[in-house]
């Protein structure tokens, strides 16, 4: 990760205070650099990124003016920060945050990254000298932001060469309504994220497995294995192709396609996504409280794990070829 330009603006919609910086941060403290880089790396690796497209957005126009040298980096960041500040108030988002705007190079590709970092509060200390005596006080600091990704953060990534857009945000709940505020503010359309795609596909497979009285010890592991292979080999998730490895019945495959179409699930590029642990293991819980975690790759290898359906309707699970057992605390 190479940080080429960086600037910070203060957006306090709660107190209606906007404090734009008038110059870039030329040199970061050596203790701060790893924290900023850590957050940027987490952003690019996040499984919550959504592929999006601007639709006549004022922010798109501001970025275009910067790329064509009509305005400089500082002015570009100020205009975007002020626009976000005003729009957040319209959506009744009243809190304090720091908007960090950066130009970075990641894996030899140039990006503009906007990070609206929500503040959180913590207690800390302050040392004072009173009448030649040292006094350590406890103070309340309410303008901190995290080097990790938090639920309140809103982030956009723009690839410099083609203006392709990615978003990271959690829905904002206002009067029981869930709103993707950044998506609305930036005036863009967005596909579901990898996390949302995985969840929707899993729910659809679970529903159809139950509806058609199929064996979920076969369908769910098959889904995980197919998604893992798609990420590792193809770098793209094609739900309509993946489902062929889950259900043999073409009618059920068509039902699945209809279900995910209703949820807005489409093909998804996953070049920067690594298969998580969840895709490698399948948890099974029996009705008598026994929990087993098995590698997905073993679920259909009878020389490793076998599910035996007894004549009395009960199910037995045999785990085979074990050389040793380790008890974990």
Q: Rounded distance, CA 300 to CA 218, Å?
A: 8
What is the radius of gyration, based on Cα positions, of the chain?
25
Spatial neighbors of 164 by CB under 8 A, at least 6 apart, are 51, 53, 158
Q: Which helix (H) or strand (E) holds 312?
A: none
210: left (phi over 0), alpha (psi -120 to 50) or beta: alpha
Structure tokens at 162: 């083609």
At 273 the pLDDT is: 76
Among residues 221, 194, 229, the alpha carbon closest in space to that of 205 is found at 221
DSSP, residue by residue, 116-183: EEE-EEEEEEEEEEETTEEEEEEEEEEEE--SS--TT-EEEEEETTT--EEEE-PPEEETTEEE-HHH
The tens digit of pLDDT for each residue in 261-291 reads 998 898 888 777 777 788 888 888 888 888 8
Q: Rounded distance, CA 281 to CA 232, Å?
A: 16
First to last CA, the chain: 39
Neighbours of 133 (CB within 10 A): 7
Structure tokens at 91: 């959506």
139, 29 contact by CB (below 8 A) = no
Spatial neighbors of 232 by CB under 8 A, at least 6 apart, are 275
The tens digit of pLDDT for each residue in 72-124 reads 999 999 999 999 999 999 988 888 999 999 999 999 999 999 999 988 888 88
Structure tokens at 27: 């040199």
Specify the length of the chain in residues.
Answer: 329
Strand partners, 159: 111
The verdict on pTM exceeding 0.95 is no
What residues of the chain score a pLDDT lower than 50? none
At 249 the pLDDT is: 94
The tens digit of pLDDT for each residue in 215-224 reads 888 999 999 9
Distance (Å) of CA 49 to CA 157, 169, 238 = 9, 8, 17
DSSP, residue by residue, 61-80: HHHHHHHTTSS-HHHHHHHH
Structural domain spans, the chain:
2-119+145-190, 194-319
Alpha carbon of residue 188 to chain centroid: 18
């Amino acid at each position: 990760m190479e940080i080429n330009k960086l600037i910070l603006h203060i957006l306090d919609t709660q107190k209606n205070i906007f404090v734009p910086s008038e110059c870039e941060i030329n040199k970061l403290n050596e203790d701060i650099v790893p924290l900023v880089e850590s957050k940027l790396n987490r952003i690019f690796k996040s499984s919550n990124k959504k592929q999006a497209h601007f639709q006549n957005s004022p922010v798109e126009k501001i970025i275009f003016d910067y790329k064509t040298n009509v305005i400089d980096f500082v002015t570009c960041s100020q205009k975007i920060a002020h626009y976000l500040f005003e729009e957040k108030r319209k959506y009744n988002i009243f809190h304090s945050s720091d908007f960090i705007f950066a130009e970075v190079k990641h894996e030899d590709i140039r990006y503009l990254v906007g990070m609206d970092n929500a503040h959180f509060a913590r207690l800390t200390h302050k040392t004072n000298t009173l009448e030649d005596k040292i006094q350590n006080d406890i103070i309340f600091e309410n303008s901190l932001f995290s080097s990790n990704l938090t639920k309140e953060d809103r982030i956009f990534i723009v690839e410099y060469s083609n203006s392709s857009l990615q978003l990271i945000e959690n829905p904002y709940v206002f009067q029981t309504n869930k709103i993707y505020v950044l998506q609305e503010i930036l005036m863009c359309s967005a596909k579901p994220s990898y996390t949302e795609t995985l969840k929707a596909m899993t729910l659809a497979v679970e529903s159809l497995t139950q509806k058609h009285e199929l064996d979920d010890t076969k369908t769910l592991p098959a889904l995980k294995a197919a998604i893992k292979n798609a990420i590792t080999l193809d770098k793209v998730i094609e739900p309509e192709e993946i489902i062929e490895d889950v259900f043999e019945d073409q009618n059920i495959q068509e039902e699945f396609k209809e279900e995910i179409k209703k949820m807005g699930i489409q093909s998804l590029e996953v070049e920067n996504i690594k298969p998580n642990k969840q895709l490698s293991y399948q948890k099974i819980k029996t009705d008598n409280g026994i929990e087993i975690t098995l590698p997905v790759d073993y679920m259909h290898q009878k020389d490793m794990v076998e599910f035996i359906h007894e004549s009395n309707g009960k199910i037995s699970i045999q785990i085979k070829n074990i050389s040793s057992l380790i008890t974990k605390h």
